[in-house]
Structure 1
């Protein structure tokens, strides 16, 4: 598996295109065909075999960037300064801006997938116009909060939807691209999502930005917990929880264990994983992003 390098230490020519052309890196030789450029003749092979061959090189390209922004109903949840969807949009914009600045004008094409029930892909273009269009799209997007009536609908197969999206992207994503996944990772802790992530990692440098609300790791105490009604979109259930300290302690322990295991597994396979709460300022998120990109 290739070793990831900070984007700031790479030039546009460090990434190889999926297409062959007049690049600098030798890829293979093939028999000469009418119309081939004579400058590409493999003279040593011609002298050895008596037959004309052409050197085929790998084209270089500015690394492409693709962003997946998770906007399922659960992302409308938030108990602090903003919702998870709002924080996810801010983090996506900061990540793309950081990558573009680190590329020093050599940034490639930028794409965006907005994932609700059905992923919707957008081609944003290149350079500063792509960043401006990304900002406009994120400003216009809205997330509808989950309601109890949603429990009557069939539960979405998150893993299957992610696998299908990843399979399509792998077929079109050039080698050496950068992929930014922004989500709370609800429903992602399954083998199907892991296999899709490994396939994406074989084509691109994958940056996973996890967005979490503080209450997902530490339940509120006292009357605030007893009065809250929980909607579990994965288990299709609603209910309340008793506000005793033992339950809160157990919840925190299990939630942190599950998070740490997920991050450890993904990082072991070469994914770059960062986590930010909805209350974190942009300056804090940007400082962490600069350390990895």
Structure 2
């Protein structure tokens, strides 16, 4: 859907660019997303890190007598020594914590063959998660990164903070055009900045192109995951995973030109294999970091995908 040499857009285009009013309107749909636990439903985000690092994202509640099945690491040895009976420390989920939306808006995402561009999908998904987090009484902030650098909003439990982030996200989205040059390491740089500003117990939500996972970015995600919780949302388009059998296709970028004969089965197979390996790398990283992985595609609206994946994970 994107083509080289297109002029910089002067106003948002449906399916390509987003307006801040649209991101604000998503507040209504966000109420239906089970991102966090309720009395009726357990969130897929709960327990993924707490079992590995006690106290991360939780607050101390009280002490009670030890019961079979309790984690021995939670034994309160002072109370146990005083009472001569084993006692366990109990924790409850932290009700307020920084949630940091790391959202890519680069030329790499300025493409789509489905319902819209990947850059649009990233903005919509970020808005939905931001509204859910604010309704959950959490602090919301983030970093919009792309071809023109980074724009940061510090996490605060404030509607104004989220609106400021959405405004910067919409502005970055509207400035995207096909002539921009992407930095392959922009995700790694944004993650490094995130490590500098977030405190332990925070949640970082990563919305980036599926192809952005370089060695540098993976290293930064690994370092980041040692101290905070992660939610990974790699973005893709159907054409990222499979070439159509459409004959000779010509590609151009800068001064480079490339022709592919998509009638050649070996070319289509090699292309699909590269995509499979990218997806596998994300899956292996998510397992290693014990982080939820919610891949998104331009095939369907962001809300439908998030709702179905979150409900299916509960």
Name the TM-score, length of structure 1 as normaliser. 0.67
Is 1:111 paired with 2:141?
A: yes
Paired residues for 1:197-276 under 5 Å: 197-223=221-247, 226-231=248-253, 237-246=256-265, 247-276=267-296
Uncovered stretches (5+) of structure 1, i.e. residues with no partner: 1-5, 18-22, 26-43, 45-59
**Please, which of 196, 216, 220 is the counterpart of residue 171 of structure 1?**
196
8 Å CA contact 2:222–2:289 kept in 1: the answer is yes
SS, match of residue 239 in structure 2:
helix
Paired residues for 1:38-57 under 5 Å: none
Deviation track 1:106-149 (CA, whole Å, cap 9, x = no partner) reads 31x211211113222123632444444444443333242333x8
Paired residues for 1:1-293 under 5 Å: 7-8=36-37, 15=57, 62-101=96-135, 103=136, 106-107=137-138, 109-117=139-147, 118-123=149-154, 125-141=156-172, 142-147=174-179, 150=181, 156=183, 158=185, 161-190=186-215, 192-223=216-247, 226-231=248-253, 237-246=256-265, 247-281=267-301, 282-290=303-311
SS, match of residue 196 in structure 1:
helix
Give, in angstroms, the shift of residue 7 of structure 1.
3.8
1:279–1:70 distance in 2 versus 1, CA, 3 Å = same
Deviation track 1:56-108 (CA, whole Å, cap 9, x = no partner) reads xxxx771111111111111111122210100111111122233344x3xx31x
Uncovered stretches (5+) of structure 2, i.e. residues with no partner: 1-34, 47-54, 63-77, 79-93
Q: CA–CA distance in 2 between the matches of 1:72 and 1:173?
A: 23
